Amino acid sequence: MELKADLTLDAKGLSCPIPLLKTKQFINKIKLGEVLEVLGTHPGSKNDLPGWFARAGREFLEAKDESGFLDFLSAEENNKY
C-alpha cells in the first residue's frame, strides 16, 4: 500500500541543521494517524531524520531517494498502516 502524506515539509536546498529544525516545528502539526512527509536534499538528513523521529516518539515509515531529493515519511507512534 502506498502511503499518503497529510502534511508535507519542503526542506529541499536547506543545509544542516535547518531540515531537522523545521521538521521539529512541523511534527507537532500532525495528529494521531496522520503522516508527515519531509522532502530534502541534504545528505545528512539520511541519518539525522530517522534517528530523530525515533527519539521523538514518532514512527519512521520510509525513506526514498528520488530524482535528486530525499523523501521521508513519519507518523505518530500508534499509526495503523
Catalytic residues: 16
Rounded Cα distance between 27 and 58, Å, is 9
Count CA atoms closer than 13 A to 15's CA, side-chain side: 0
Pairing of strands 35-40, 7-11: parallel
